[in-house]
Amino acid sequence: MSLKRLISVNTVAQLLKKGIINKEGVRILDCTHEPNLAVEKPGWKVFRKEFYGKFEKVYDELCPSKELYRSGHIPEAPHISVDVAFYPSQYERLALYPPDVFQEYAQKLGIDDGEHLILYARGRFSGMLYASKIAWLFKSYGHEKISLVDGGFEEWTRKGYDISKDDVKLKRGTWKANDNMTKYNIKYEQLEEQHGDKKYIEWTDDLNLLDARVRGQFEGTEPTEFPANVVGTHIPGFKCMPAEELVEEGLMRDNDEIRDWLDVHGFKSDRPTVILCNMGVQATMLAYAIESIYPHNPIQVYN
């Protein structure tokens, strides 16, 4: 089945009505995540020893967002958790597992190889923030058949569609992971690599260097989120392109509007793109939007 990269809740409702979701090569996943819910999480060393790759244990003990999911979600949607899909490393809050490890989690969720994934969440940026993070995660493992739900769960409920409180469990899937991690993500060491007389991060005339955080953090008038209460600033050469400005009245702005917005902010479609934010979440939403308009533009997210 061919679906657009951004689909309406009406489209999702029709797919459910026709019995296509979870039956004809289409899966829907609830990506709900609330980072502010209180749970004491272990440090990276303890996590590595006691939780790494133990997906059920992480979900049961370290995933408070599951209660939001269980309070109501789009029917037929299992919960894919940011707390489970990533792990805390020494320097990354949301580090990517090796492909063979993440593959195990995806199969446990019931995803089959070659399926089209419909992703949605709730909360920030009209439920498209953490859905974008999961979308970029799957891209990093070679899965390209993805759609985001425009407006997320809030739009679904606003339109009055049915919700479910079932804890959806599907039979084990056959999904296979590939390794596109370095194609779509960039490490600190790569940004610091010397190329001639400049570091890669200093190639301001040859790259789109974009900062997806809110303007106040970029301009130093608002505190960052991680760590909290530290006044923001920005890296010289990076352009301020807040992911939150992609959303208007609860929905994603259309491609023409986003293209104009990119032009105004100095985006050049013929240059490779590097995007950062606080912890690689807002950056993925901006990356997903840019890729929808300029599918051949090479984009890497600093995680």
Confirm whether 31 is a catalytic residue.
Answer: no
CB 161 within 8 A of CB 9: yes
Token pair 């200093």 is found at: 202
Q: Is 178 exposed, middle or buried (0-12, 13-18, 19+ CB in 10 A)?
A: exposed
Name the DSSP letter for residue 222: S
Tell me the C-alpha distance between 287 and 276, whole Å.
Answer: 10
- Catalytic residue, candidates 31, 63, 240, 277: 277
Cβ pair 139, 200 in contact under 8 A: no
Amino acid code (one letter) for 19: G
Count the neighbouring beta carbons within 10 Å of the beta carbon of residue 164.
Answer: 14
Helix, strand, coil tally for the chain in percent (to 5): 35, 15, 50
Q: Is the peptide bond before 42 cis (omega within 30 degrees of 0)?
A: no
Strands 299-302 and 273-276 turn out to be parallel
Residues 6 or more apart whose CB falls under 8 angstroms from that of 4 comprise 147
Structure tokens at 38: 């209180």
List, in sequence order, the alpha helices (H) in 200-254: 215-219
Distance of alpha carbon 37 from its chain centroid, rounded?
Answer: 19
- The angle, 0 to 180 degrees and rounded to 10, between the axes of the packed helices 282-293 and 255-264 is 110
Positions annotated as catalytic residues are 277
